[in-house]
Amino acid sequence: MDLSHPNSDAVTLNLSRSLVATSSFPATIDAAMFMISYEHVAVGGFHASSMHVV
């Protein structure tokens, strides 16, 4: 992902929504933890914080 691209936040948000939509499946827990860690680095924790609430 090119984080310098203007739409990078939108892409990250869409990924977050996808994880939330499938969060009822245990396998997504590891993916969610990975995304939280990745997003914390990529966007300063903004999306990671909102995902942590979920």
Contact 43, 9 (CB under 8 A): yes
**Domain residue ranges in the chain:** 13-53
pLDDT digits (tens, 9 = 90+) for 8-42: 666 666 666 666 665 555 666 677 777 666 655 55
pTM of the model: 0.22
Name the amino acid, one letter, at 51: M
- Alpha carbon 48 to chain centroid, angstroms: 6
**What is the per-residue pLDDT for 23?**
55
pLDDT band at 6 (very low <50, low <70, confident <90, very high): low
**What is the per-residue pLDDT for 48?**
47
Angstrom distance (rounded) from CA 51 to CA 6: 21
